[in-house]
Amino acid sequence: MIVWVNGAFGSGKSTLVDELRPRWPEALAYDPELVGYVLREIVEVPTGDFQDLRLWRRQVADLAVALIEEYDRPVLVP
């Protein structure tokens, strides 16, 4: 199961996931920004926002699914 917390920048998505973690200890917390930080080190980001990269969007989704398949645990995504 993927619990994807959606919202505007600064709306508290990461804070909510941090609050859920102690209540759901088996869940993995996965922050898609980490993928963006890695991509920024590898490729140019013309707009300055890694979320505009098609590769970022694909990798974020692929990694979320792979975490479930590999570890058979729910994933919390802010």
Alpha carbons 49 and 27: distance in angstroms, whole number: 28
Give the pLDDT score at 51: 94
User: What pLDDT is attached to residue 76?
Assistant: 97
Tens of pLDDT, residue by residue, the chain (78 residues) = 999 999 998 999 999 999 999 999 999 999 999 999 999 999 999 999 999 999 999 999 999 999 999 999 999 999
pLDDT at 52: 96
Tell me the domain boundaries of the chain. 2-77
What is the reported pLDDT for 9? Answer: 87
